[in-house]
Structure 1
C-alpha cells in the first residue's frame, strides 16, 4: 500500500516510515525539514521537500496516487502558537484542509490524523474521547478545528478517517531544541551536567507514551477504527518531578532541578484513557515508562557523543 506521510522526516514520522517499510508498505515522505532531518529517513524512500502550504503539493497527489495519507506535519510549539496564532492556524488548519481537498480529489482511501491531548485543556479527571474539549492554547485549538474539518469532509465527501489524540510522545530522535519534549530536554541537560529546568512546581502530570507505540497505532489505523477519534496514551500519569528523579537515577546524577515560573498554555494534568484504543484499534502500549526511558537515554548517549 502506498502511504504519504507528512512530517515523515520528523521524530514520530520517520519512525512510522521505518515501520511501514518493515510491514511491506511503500511510504512517501512530505516534509519541509523545519524540524525533520534527512538522516532520519532510510535510503531509497522518496522524499518531497515541500511546505504544506505549497501550491505544488497537488502535483505529488497527482503523481503518486497514495492509498492512505498519514498527516503528522504540524506547527507543534504551544509557545509559538501563542506568539503567532495566525501562522499556527495557517500551517495546522489550512495545511490540513488543503490535504483533505487533495485526498478527496485523488481518491485517497483513508486519512489518518495526528491530533493531541491539547484539545482537552484543563482537567483533573481521566480523559476519555468524549470528555469536554476546551483548549487553552492556539495549538490545541488548531488541532481541534482540524478535527472538525476532517469529520465534515467525511460527512460531505465520504473520506474515511481516524483521528489519533496523542499523549506526551517521547523516544529516540526527539529534538531537545525549540519545543522539544521534556524528556529529551532533561536527558540532554543531565548529560551536560546541567541542572534540569522544571517550569512550575513539578507536580503537573503527563501521560508519557513511547514513540514506537505511537507509530504502531498509526499502522493499525490503516485497517481499524474508521471514522473514530482515539486517545493514544498509557492510561497512567507521571509528575514532572518524578520523571526528573527517574532520569536522574538512570544517569546517576545528583543535580537538583532548577524551578522556573509556570509557562502560559501548559496544562496541569494529562491522563488519557486508552480503553477505546484497545477495543477499536486493537492497540495497547508495549513500553512502560522505565523501559521507554532506557531506550531513549541509550539513544541520546550514542548520538550526542556523551560516551
Structure 2
C-alpha cells in the first residue's frame, strides 16, 4: 500500500516508518526536519522522505496523489510548548490535521490519527474512551479538537478513520518523559532530574506495542473506532527507578525539581476486544530501553 506517515522523524514515527517499510509498503515520510532518524530511514527500501511542514497544504497536495492510508503523528506534543504558544498549537495540531484530513478525503484514504491520553480530564480511575468530553490542558484540547474533526469528516464525507489514544510511550529513540530521564541518567552515571514526584503513578506502554496497534488498525474491525492503547496499569516512578537500578547494577542521585504527584492511567478493554494486547512487560521494555542508552555511550 501507499502510506503517508507524518512526523516520520519523531520517536514513534521512526519506528512506524521502519516497520511499514520492512513490510513492503510504499512509505512517504513527512517531517519538517531532516534529522538523524530520517537519515537512517532513507537507507530503507520503499521509504521516500519529504521535508514538508504539515501546515503547508500546497506542498502536501503535490506528493499525496494515490495515497491509501495516512498515519498522522506530526504534532506539537508538549503541554509546555502548547501552553507557551497556543496559537501555534492550534495551527499545527488542528489546522495541520485538517490539511491531512483533506488529503485523506480527496484520496478516500484511511486516516489513522495518533492521539493522547491528554484528551481526558484528570481522574483517579483508568479512563475510558467515552470520558473525553473536556480537558483543561492546551495540548490535550488541541488533540481533542483534532479528533472532533476526524469524526466530522467521517460524518460529512464518510471518511474512514481510527483514533488511537496512547498512554505514555517509552523505548529506544525516545527524547523525553521520566523513563527517558532515568534511563539516560543511569546509562551516563549522572544525576536524574525529575519534574514530578517519584510517587506519581503512570501508565507506560513500550513503543513496539504501539507499533503493533498502528498495524492492527489497518484491519477493517478497527475502522471508525476510538481506542485507548495502554498497559492499564498504574506504575509509580519510584518502581520504574528500582527496576532500572536492578538492571543497571548501580544507582545515581535523583533530584526532584518539582515535587508534584500525577496519576494517569488509560483503560485498554476496548483494544483487547479488538485483539490487541501488549507483548512487553514493563521490565522487558526497560531492558531494551536501558540497553539502547548504554549503547549510545
* TM-score bracket for this pair, using the shorter chain length: over 0.9
Q: Distance in 2 between matches of 1:36 and 1:169?
A: 20
5+ residue gaps, structure 2 = none
Match of 1:253 in 2: 250
1:240 to 237, 240, 254: 237
SS at match of 1:115: strand
How many residue pairs end up in the alignment? 293
Q: Distance in 2 between matches of 1:34 and 1:279?
A: 38
Match of 2:83 in 1: 82
Q: By percentage of residues, which structure has more helix?
A: 2
Q: Distance in 1 between matches of 2:86 and 2:34?
A: 18
Distance 1:35 1:206, change over 3 A: farther
Match of 1:12 in 2: 12
**What is the TM-score of this pair, normalised by structure 1?**
0.90
2:262 to 265, 268, 275: 268
Over the residues paired in the alignment, what is the CA RMSD in angstroms?
1.7
5+ residue gaps, structure 1 = none
Distance 1:238 1:184, change over 3 A: same
Q: Distance in 2 between matches of 1:140 and 1:40?
A: 31
Q: Distance in 1 between matches of 2:35 and 2:85?
A: 18
SS at match of 1:37: helix
Q: Distance in 2 between matches of 1:262 and 1:199?
A: 7
Match of 2:286 in 1: 293
Q: Is contact 1:17-1:27 (8 Å) kept?
A: yes
Q: Is contact 2:196-2:256 (8 Å) kept?
A: yes
Does 2:152 match 1:152?
A: yes
Deviation at 1:245, TM superposition (A): 2.0
Distance 1:256 1:134, change over 3 A: farther
2:61 to 58, 62, 77: 58
Q: Is contact 1:8-1:36 (8 Å) kept?
A: no
Q: Is contact 1:10-1:40 (8 Å) kept?
A: no
SS at match of 2:21: helix
